[in-house]
Amino acid sequence: MINLPVLPILIPLIAAIVLLFVSKSVLAQRVVSVIASASTVVSALILMAKVKSDGIQTVDMGSWPAPFGITLVSDMLSILLVLTASIITLCVVLYSFRSIGNGRERFYYYPIVQFLLLGVNGSFTTGDIFNLFVFFEIMLMSSYVLIVIGSTKIQLRESIKYILVNVISSAIFVIAVGFLYSVTGSLNMAHISARISEISTEPIITVLAVLFLIVFGLKGAIFPLYFWLPGSYAAPPAPILALFGSLLTKVGIYAILRTYTLFFYHDQPFTHDLMSLLALLTIVAGVIGALAYRDVKQILIYNIIIAVGVLLFGIATMTEESIAGTLFYLIHDMIVKAALFLLGGIIIYIAGTSNLTKMGGLIRQYPALGWTFLLASFALAGIPPLSGFTGKLLIVRAGFSEGEYVGSIVVLLSSLAVLYSVVNLFMEAFWKTPETPLPDVKKQTGSLFIPAAVLVLLSVLYGVGTEAVYPYVMQAVDTLIHPEIYIDAVLKE
């Protein structure tokens, strides 16, 4: 099974193609989607066990040796993220059965979700910088369709802005790859890394580092480049929003993490100080948004931006401890954001509005939903036994030991703001006495609630079982801190 790293990319691809042929039978769509998503999760689990026991797995496509062909590289970081993305997609697909609606289901919703997973898993796994661009485009094309599917007025309006921003960032990505090719003469990421370390004093490398930060910052919504996100993410329905919020921006963060640990670690005083500053401004911008809105979707959307800022600060600190914290927080944030958006979708479905001032009193009829939401909120803020704690603890501790006092304090204060914003959401939606009393008839939410509850449960287990996850994360950190391991595994010297 030397081709194991291909499976998390191949299964969604085949599933998506099969689904295109059975688009009019909703039942077949659902069955095939669930089977495909579940087998993606299983293949990712098998691959993770393989990476754990045997180290980095690489596949040279077409048996061309490493710098000349496209190489797929599954190190611990990429397989952890692939596994998380596949689990989230499975839960979102299950959630979609009830919530997405027959019209969208018949018009290629499920195949597009599979294509999105294909793009995300491919981006995490590829070892070739231009191939990364192609997988980005697969992911973005699917997201264009998902954001506009159903074509309500708000979706049409916001999709135009979303597509425009991403077309521009893709163009900058191609230019950056062109520059990198003219400087290093290679497209294989390990080979580029080796070439850059030979010419690391050249200022052009720093220019390229900033160019890549702009590109991935546009995808991942960091400070001056996050302007497109709040409007665009508010447009699509809840399951699509959960996919976007938990996967798309995190792929940008992954790309920053990968390029800045593999290519651009030579001129740290400039690039990492810049990143640190942008991270803090991102947190501040997110906090302002999360506190300002009285709308379920917008509060959760601005919490994405805060998390992106925290992750970027962890990358900018660039010690073993802070990278470990970043990975813990990255996986936690993917799971818990998906859970929160799914739960938020149920709240909006029950209340019939996303405006907090018009809600209230849901706890009487939906106690399970309420307490699950509160649990997910606490996990998001990083209350100790839950999942957000370890990551933030490591990031803050690394920040203090590197003398980044302002940054670490801002990260700590941001947790307070996160907690305030989500608990305020909880109080308004569940405790407050509503202006118009709720109808006595309870809406059926069981099939919506279960996938979301599974994600919350996973996040709780992830928090409680940190000891069990720790060796996996540390193996990923080891590869990131020592790029030689990655280079040797790919180029097989």
Nearer to another protein, 49 or 171 (CB): 171
Nearest distance, CB of residue 403 and another protein, angstroms? 40
Taking the C-alpha atoms of residue 282 and residue 280, their distance in angstroms, rounded to an integer, is 5
Eight-class DSSP state of 403: T
| 218 to 257: interface string for another protein, x by CB under 8 A | ----------------x-----------------------
Which parts of 350-409 interact with another protein (CB under 8 A)? Answer: 354-355
Contact call for residue 134 and another protein (CB under 8 A): yes
Nearer to another protein, 184 or 390 (CB): 184
Contact call for residue 144 and another protein (CB under 8 A): yes
Nearer to another protein, 50 or 358 (CB): 358
Nearer to another protein, 157 or 432 (CB): 157
Which parts of 326-355 interact with another protein (CB under 8 A)? Answer: 354-355
Contact call for residue 167 and another protein (CB under 8 A): yes
> Of 101, 178, 367, 465, which one interacts with another protein (CB under 8 A)?
178
> Of 25, 152, 357, 447, which one interacts with another protein (CB under 8 A)?
152
| 1 to 40: interface string for another protein, x by CB under 8 A | ----------------------------------------
Nearer to another protein, 275 or 348 (CB): 348
Taking the C-alpha atoms of residue 108 and residue 270, their distance in angstroms, rounded to an integer, is 46
Which range touches another protein (CB under 8 A), out of 19-27, 165-173, 419-427, 441-449?
165-173
DSSP-assigned beta bridge partners for residue 57:
74
Nearest distance, CB of residue 220 and another protein, angstroms? 20
Contact call for residue 71 and another protein (CB under 8 A): no
Burial code (b: 16+ CB inside 10 Å, e: under 16) for 43-82 equals bbeebbebbeeeebbbbbeeeeebbeebbbbbbbbbbbbb
Helices (H), 149-227: 153-184, 189-198, 203-220
3-state helix, strand, coil in the chain (%, to 5): 80, 5, 15
Taking the C-alpha atoms of residue 256 and residue 290, their distance in angstroms, rounded to an integer, is 24
Nearer to another protein, 74 or 159 (CB): 159
Is 438 within 8 Å of 366 (Cβ atoms)? no
Burial class (CB in 10 A: 0-12, 13-18, 19+), 346: buried
Is 332 within 8 Å of 469 (Cβ atoms)? no
Contact call for residue 107 and another protein (CB under 8 A): no
Nearer to another protein, 234 or 336 (CB): 234
Contact call for residue 292 and another protein (CB under 8 A): no
Contact call for residue 170 and another protein (CB under 8 A): yes
Is 232 within 8 Å of 164 (Cβ atoms)? no
- Beta strands 71-74 and 57-60, pairing class: antiparallel
Taking the C-alpha atoms of residue 488 and residue 52, their distance in angstroms, rounded to an integer, is 17
Which range touches another protein (CB under 8 A), out of 26-34, 103-111, 130-138, 367-375?
130-138
Other C-beta atoms closer than 10 Å to the C-beta of 21 total: 11
Taking the C-alpha atoms of residue 10 and residue 200, their distance in angstroms, rounded to an integer, is 37
Which parts of 448-477 interact with another protein (CB under 8 A)? Answer: none
Nearest distance, CB of residue 166 and another protein, angstroms? 8
Contact call for residue 211 and another protein (CB under 8 A): no
Count of residues of this chain found to bind another protein when the rule CB under 8 A is applied: 34
Nearest distance, CB of residue 358 and another protein, angstroms? 11
Backbone angles phi, psi at 190, to 5 degrees: -65, -40
Burial code (b: 16+ CB inside 10 Å, e: under 16) for 151-162 equals eeeebeebbeeb
Name the residues that contact another protein, by CB under 8 A.
130, 133-134, 137, 141, 144-145, 148, 151-154, 156-157, 159-161, 163-164, 167-168, 170-171, 174-175, 177-179, 181-182, 187, 234, 354-355
